[in-house]
A and B are shown apart, each in its own frame.
Chain A
Amino acid sequence: MKHLLSTKDLSRDEAVGILDTAAHMAETQAREIKKLPALRGRTVVNLFYEDSTRTRNSFETAEKRLSADVINFSAKGSSVSKGESLKDTVETIGAMGIDAIVVRHSASGAAHRIAHSDWTDATVINAGDGTHQHPTQALLDAYTLRRHLMGPDPLGQDLAGVGVAIVGDVLHSRVARSNVDLLTTLGAHVTLVAPPTLLPIGVETWQCGVSYDFDRTLAEGGLDAVMMLRVQAERMSAAGGGYFPSANEYSREYGLDSARLSRLPAGVLVMHPGPMNRGLEITSVVADSAQSVIVEQVANGVAIRMAVLYLTLTGGQGGAL
């Protein structure tokens, strides 16, 4: 695995391998000295064209825990804001002799384009591209699901038989796309829940169920986790597309509140990729409830990103963990 661009590219065995490696990484993070030598002498650039707190910090933490040299390149405060092209930026970074580029970009396909161009030979890890993919988010979600749902020793296991509802703005969500691909590859059954305006034309070809009715989906049962997606309030306005009439109507129909949570079995996990709009797609009581694994998702993100960096940069031959 030279690059990680899309969860669609991952086979079941590759995905399970990443989750297993992440589990080993997580074990090392319980040690007093968390730093590992695996990527010593390697240089990783975090090339972020979009604002991101948790993803960039998560990658940076993972890189440093593996002893990589880290360069942070954000579009603000660089020549990008003066109009430098992606190609020129990547070639400039490449000329500094780097081993991997972790890229977040508002344009779908940006990571794919960098990986398949002759602009650089570096490993490319997609940290979110437009409304296309966010593979490490899906991997950390799968890791979190497996840790809670697949028994005391989940190593080597996939997510066979697990039921997951993904609720919200699927149309604009790279998290939803990555999760549909990965979770189904791992044997889970995914149901997308959204108003029809927030589902893409063509969603019927995806390997998942589709529901316009959150309450009916909850009543049908079979769910082990409910993953809420961030809904951007500007989508309401005419300029933003007019996808739904009001925040209140959205919350009533598609928000996860205490009443809906109370209708779910106690073991059902509540997930959210963050950042949350508390009060819109999820209430504070639910976000902070015992069933919520939202904070744990962040912690697992570091282990997953360590695993992805380790596997892409060393092919798993990076020495003792």
Chain B
Amino acid sequence: MTSAYLIRGASLPDGTVADVRLANGVIRDIKAVPAHDAGRPGAAQRVSDAGRPGSEPAGTVAGATVIDGSGCVLLPGLVDLHTHLREPGGEEAETVWSGTRAAAAGGYTAVHAMANTFPVQDTAGVVEQVLRLGQEAGYVDVHPVGAVSVGLEGERLAELVAMARSGARVRVFSDDGHCVADPVLMRRALEYVKAFDGVVAQHAQEPRLTEGALMHEGAVSAELGLTGWPAVAEESIIARDVLLAEHVGSRLHVCHVSTAGSVELVRWAKSRGVHVTAEVTPHHLALTDESARGYDPVFKVNPPLRGAADVEAVRQALQDGVIDCVATDHAPHPAETKECEWAAASFGMTGLETALPVVNELMVETGRMTWADVARVMSEAPARVGQLTDQGRPVAVGEVANLTLFDPAARRVWDPASGYSKSTNSPFKGKELHGRTRYTWLRGRATVQEGKVVERV
């Protein structure tokens, strides 16, 4: 298979239309297409372009595979700060191999693998195991997240330096799935990671306020008789943690911000100069607690789907830059843990293969964000939070060719069973997805071609 590509007529994040040549793992050349050809969105235009010289179908020119990129946008490879790959220990739901294939299919070139595996990623040995599994699979860069506390139990610090100095070079630490609820432990973690410029990614959930909680607390939970998960349980932890981060002069990352109040707290902290970043998931951008009405646990997630005002607040915060990143919180679960009554079901949703179409539909097609903004929130900012140097880079000559070619006009009804994740617990099942990843390149090597993950021999 050739490792040289010529992508013709794709839009770059800044809106210029160009022919882009990839070779030897880097972006070799970018030639802007003349102005009268620029700004061609949509598939209809592509049909009328069919006879234009230079827009011939994929073939080979001078040893390079030629791809007609017209109507598509060429983005830096997406970086996910929040992925549950489930291996080791949860292979029934996902493996590093299947999860990274799903990531590549969704346009990702790097994922941060959350620590709540079995055994927990709380030692150098386990994070190096996950790193190695990712390298062997070869679809995206897998950056293991280290647990903050031993066994995610929230009692004493895991050996964070050992994980930071390991082959996995861990920089992001999180007990995700559990909140680091003890204020002293959180303070110590924030202080300790300063030694290697790490960051603590907090799952903000006050445990006592959320005992037995099953969905967002509000009018819908009152009617459905499902125990409420109040917004204040998230917001009170964020308020505490931004103050702690300020006090000890450390970096805090807030996972899956879901409420309007959380947005206000992050905005306030940033205005004070606190080193805080925040992420929002596609499902919290897209869905509300009304989804729970059918008691289908595919909509059961933690933090829960919130009210309409919260959804609007997180969209606005992403647009304004108060929320820095979109992160999937891809949480695959075996079917039997969702084919049951709501109370018994697992929390979580898959998201790697649907994130970019959801962001396209909600943020780009609505005019709220540009593709440059998408590149920022789905690649550049998460790479910066994770201290990645060869990801989240501009689409520019000489940069490592971590890229994804996305056709925003493509439409398909989403059937998770047709996807690459081992699990099908997608809340977007049966919905029309706005756009599709055509190609993904990891260091110049195609991991996805024409929407299909490349099988390796």
Give chain A's interface residues, CB within 8 Å of chain B: 8, 85-87, 105-110, 112-113, 116-117, 129-133, 174, 177, 200-203, 205-206
A202, B222: Cα distance in complex, Å: 6
Say whether, besides A112-B294, A201-B218, A85 and B340 are in contact (CB < 8 Å).
yes
A133 to chain B: which residues have CB within 8 Å?
A: 225
Q: Give, as a whole number of angstroms, the nearest-CB distance from A237 to chain B.
A: 13
Contact of B341 among A105, A200, A201, A206 (CB under 8 A): A105
- The answer to whether B222 touches A85, judged by C-beta atoms less than 8 angstroms apart, is no
- The answer to whether B342 touches A109, judged by C-beta atoms less than 8 angstroms apart, is yes
A173, B296: Cα distance in complex, Å: 22
Contact of B223 among A106, A110, A116, A177 (CB under 8 A): A177
- The answer to whether A86 touches B344, judged by C-beta atoms less than 8 angstroms apart, is yes
Contact of B344 among A107, A129, A131 (CB under 8 A): A107
- The answer to whether A129 touches B225, judged by C-beta atoms less than 8 angstroms apart, is yes
B228 to chain A: which residues have CB within 8 Å?
A: 200-201
A34, B296: Cα distance in complex, Å: 41
Pairs A–B under 8 Å by Cβ, sample size 25: A8-B223, A85-B340, A85-B344, A86-B341, A87-B336, A87-B340, A107-B342, A109-B226, A109-B295, A109-B343, A113-B340, A113-B342, A130-B225, A131-B225, A132-B226, A133-B225, A177-B223, A177-B225, A201-B221, A201-B222, A202-B218, A202-B222, A202-B223, A205-B222, A205-B223
- The answer to whether B295 touches A113, judged by C-beta atoms less than 8 angstroms apart, is yes
In chain B between 341 and 368, which residues have their CB closer than 8 angstroms to a CB of chain A? 341-344
A109, B300: Cα distance in complex, Å: 13
Give chain B's interface residues, CB within 8 Å of chain A: 214, 217-228, 230, 294-296, 336, 339-344
B342 to chain A: which residues have CB within 8 Å?
A: 107-109, 113
Which 7 pairs, one residue from A and one from B, show the smallest C-beta to C-beta distance? A109-B295, A132-B225, A202-B222, A202-B219, A200-B222, A131-B225, A107-B341
A129 to chain B: which residues have CB within 8 Å?
A: 225
Contact of A108 among B224, B294, B296, B339 (CB under 8 A): B224
- The answer to whether A200 touches B340, judged by C-beta atoms less than 8 angstroms apart, is no
Candidate in A8, A112, A116 with the most chain B CB atoms within 10 angstroms: A112
Q: Give, as a whole number of angstroms, the nearest-CB distance from A110 to chain B.
A: 5
A117, B295: Cα distance in complex, Å: 11
- The answer to whether B341 touches A174, judged by C-beta atoms less than 8 angstroms apart, is no
Knowing that A133-B225, A205-B222 touch, tell me 20 more A-B residue pairs with CB under 8 angstroms: A85-B339, A85-B340, A87-B340, A105-B341, A107-B344, A108-B214, A109-B224, A109-B343, A113-B342, A116-B296, A130-B226, A131-B227, A132-B225, A174-B225, A200-B221, A200-B228, A201-B217, A202-B220, A202-B223, A205-B219
